[in-house]
């Protein structure tokens, strides 16, 4: 094997360096030779500003200088440029860079064996799966079989569409009963903006006006935010308000909740003496909703209608009107801001672990928005009311940020910001009109949808249910409507 093939790029917490044993290998532009390593002196924790200058545990390297960051929580440490909990972090267990194997879990700072999976199975994301047949972990964790393929003996194998209960359209497998590009037959496509596919036919989209936030006879919501997503098999939508007689409520949709749906009161933290921050949102993870506000993290158990405070004053980066979102693995996120950089906070409900990811400085300061998409496995991020800020996708797997096509127009993002978990993000502009927009991750493009039945204002909220309904609410006027996506 050649020397060039042996030289491997090593990424350490977003600080890129190249380590090779051959001293004559040139460093890339922007890097400096420090011993046998090429280091970026602007942000390398071990070579900050000069070779051998290492930043301390409560510092990070920024622009070639060691700068103080908010102290990591007890038991945590700065690894690279991220605070991690050394007691629970899988990749930094007991010490930076000490990673646990897939069949181990970091417990009290040591890698411990997890309950063994059955023969033929493997632990992927904390769950035992059969890698011989699992569509999302075929042969190994994260190996996803696409449309028209089935996981057979640990490999993605093409199968007839008919075996999957789908139709073969030019080599692709599609559900003709719901696919908007193949609706009823392979050659029928529904109009992007005005139609959706239902029961094998194109149906006209319309906004349905529902019972408003302020129309609960027992007391309305004011300046509310929705929960981020409603999973399959459920239809209820939750919302919390910054003011109002009953600041936390659940919405039962039409039919079960009457012709316009209905709002019902739920419990709130602190024995009822509590209001939520403006525009925070509530992240659904398992059977609970989570919300980060200021330096606290609150948890609501849906089954028992009770609140707890897993983190009471322990978040080192204070949040202000930050939308809270959860990913498919149950991690909960919210964006803060610290000295010119955004700080994305990640919380793991299973063990209470916290991680921090530093990112672009143009998000995190002014009502930052966040929403998760299952199809791309990315967290989408934006800043409300700031036209100069960008639109980003965050990858939890490597901590990287990707800059995306920004929302058209000069007004910036609205507080309404939600994802359908099949490749789309929805929002409105920060203006007083009725426009509504959809972002498609596959093409990195925006499409203007049907206008809302009322002006959205600049303080709105939206959420999506797994059965294809998008709910939108105007926080200024209390008006609520829903829109059938699929």
Closest by CA position to 274, among listed 286, 252, 291: 291
Is 193 a member of any domain?
no
Token representation of residue 327: 């990913």
Pairing of strands 413-419, 424-429: antiparallel
Same domain, residue pair 280 and 149: no
Domains in the chain, number: 4
> Residue 252 forms beta bridges with which residues?
262
Is 293 a member of any domain?
yes
Same domain, residue pair 302 and 441: yes
Q: Which residues contact 323 (CB under 8 A, 6 or more apart)?
A: 225, 228, 279, 280, 281, 334, 335, 367, 368, 369, 370, 371, 415, 417
Is 200 a member of any domain?
no
Q: What is the pLDDT of residues 342-378, one digit of tens each?
A: 899 999 998 898 999 988 888 888 889 999 999 899 9
Token representation of residue 231: 């999973």
pLDDT at site 480: 96
Question: Using an 8 Å Cβ cutoff, are 431 and 239 in contact?
Answer: no
- Which residue ranges in the chain fall short of pLDDT 70? 1-26, 28, 57-58, 69-76, 80-81, 102-103, 114-120, 125-127, 147, 244, 271-275
Q: Which residues contact 453 (CB under 8 A, 6 or more apart)?
A: 207, 209, 434, 481
Closest by CA position to 139, among listed 160, 147, 349, 150: 150
Last residue of a domain, one of 11, 44, 68: 68
End-to-end, the C-alpha distance of the chain in Å comes to 53
Same domain, residue pair 27 and 76: no
Same domain, residue pair 347 and 463: yes
- What are the phi and psi torsion angles at 271 (to 5°)? 65, 25
The boundaries of the domain holding residue 291 are: 207-484
Same domain, residue pair 46 and 21: yes
Token representation of residue 370: 């966040």
Closest by CA position to 469, among listed 406, 426, 407, 431: 426
pTM higher than 0.75, yes or no?
no
Same domain, residue pair 285 and 381: yes
pLDDT at site 20: 34
Closest by CA position to 433, among listed 464, 471, 460, 470: 460
pLDDT at site 119: 67
Same domain, residue pair 152 and 235: no
Is 183 a member of any domain?
no
Is 164 a member of any domain?
no
Q: How many CB atoms lie within 10 A of CB 454?
A: 16
Q: Calculate the alpha carbon distances from 479 to 34, 188, 212, 326, 360 in Å.
A: 61, 35, 5, 26, 34
Closest by CA position to 229, among listed 365, 405, 424: 424
pLDDT at site 24: 40
Same domain, residue pair 126 and 224: no
Taking the C-alpha atoms of residue 427 and residue 307, their distance in angstroms, rounded to an integer, is 30
The rounded Cα 196 to chain-centroid distance in angstroms is 26
Same domain, residue pair 57 and 7: yes
pLDDT at site 98: 85
Same domain, residue pair 34 and 83: no
Same domain, residue pair 388 and 462: yes
Residue 378's SS3 state is strand
pLDDT at site 14: 32
Same domain, residue pair 353 and 429: yes
């Amino acid at each position: 094997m050649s020397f060039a093939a042996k030289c491997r790029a090593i990424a350490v917490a977003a600080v890129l360096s190249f380590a090779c044993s051959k001293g004559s290998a040139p460093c890339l532009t922007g890097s400096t030779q420090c011993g046998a390593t090429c280091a970026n002196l602007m942000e390398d924790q071990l070579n900050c500003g000069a070779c051998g200058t290492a930043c301390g545990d409560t510092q990070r390297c920024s622009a070639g200088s060691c700068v103080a960051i908010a102290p990591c929580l007890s038991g945590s440490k700065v690894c690279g440029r991220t605070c991690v909990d050394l007691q629970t972090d899988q990749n930094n267990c007991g010490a930076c860079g000490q990673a646990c194997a897939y069949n181990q879990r970091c417990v009290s700072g040591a890698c411990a064996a997890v309950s063994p999976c059955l023969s033929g199975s493997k632990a992927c994301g904390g769950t035992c799966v059969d890698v011989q047949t699992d569509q999302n972990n075929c042969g190994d964790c994260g190996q996803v079989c696409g449309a028209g393929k089935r996981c057979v003996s640990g490999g993605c194998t093409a199968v007839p569409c008919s075996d999957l209960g789908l139709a073969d359209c030019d080599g692709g497998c599609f559900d003709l009963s719901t696919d908007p590009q193949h609706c009823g037959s392979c050659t029928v496509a529904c109009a992007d903006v005005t139609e959706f596919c239902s029961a094998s036919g194109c149906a006209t989209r319309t906004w349905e006006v529902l019972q408003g936030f302020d129309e609960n006879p027992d007391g309305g919501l004011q300046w509310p935010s929705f929960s981020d997503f409603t999973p399959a098999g459920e239809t209820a939508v939750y919302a919390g308000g910054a003011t109002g007689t009953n600041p936390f409520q659940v919405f039962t949709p039409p039919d079960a909740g009457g012709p316009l749906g209905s709002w019902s009161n739920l419990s709130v933290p602190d024995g009822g003496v509590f209001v939520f921050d403006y525009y925070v949102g509530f992240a659904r993870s398992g059977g609970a909703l989570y919300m980060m506000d200021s330096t606290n993290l609150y948890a609501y158990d849906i089954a028992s209608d009770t609140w707890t405070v897993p983190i009471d004053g322990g978040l080192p980066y204070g949040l202000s009107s930050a939308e809270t979102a959860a990913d498919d693995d149950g991690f909960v996120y919210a964006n803060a801001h610290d000295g010119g950089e955004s700080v994305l906070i990640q919380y793991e409900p299973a063990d209470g672990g916290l991680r921090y990811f530093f990112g672009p400085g143009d998000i995190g300061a002014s009502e930052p928005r966040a929403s998760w998409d299952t199809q791309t496995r990315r967290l989408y991020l934006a800043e409300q009311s700031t036209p100069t800020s960008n639109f980003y996708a965050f990858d939890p797997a490597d901590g990287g940020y990707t800059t995306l096509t920004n929302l058209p127009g000069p007004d910036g993002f609205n507080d309404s910001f939600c994802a359908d978990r099949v490749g789309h993000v929805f929002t409105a502009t920060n203006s007083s009109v009725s426009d509504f927009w959809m972002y498609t991750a596959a093409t990195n493009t925006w499409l203007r949808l049907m206008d809302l039945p009322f002006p959205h204002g600049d303080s709105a909220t939206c959420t999506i249910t797994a059965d294809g309904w998008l709910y939108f609410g105007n926080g200024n006027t209390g008006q609520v409507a829903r829109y059938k996506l699929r």
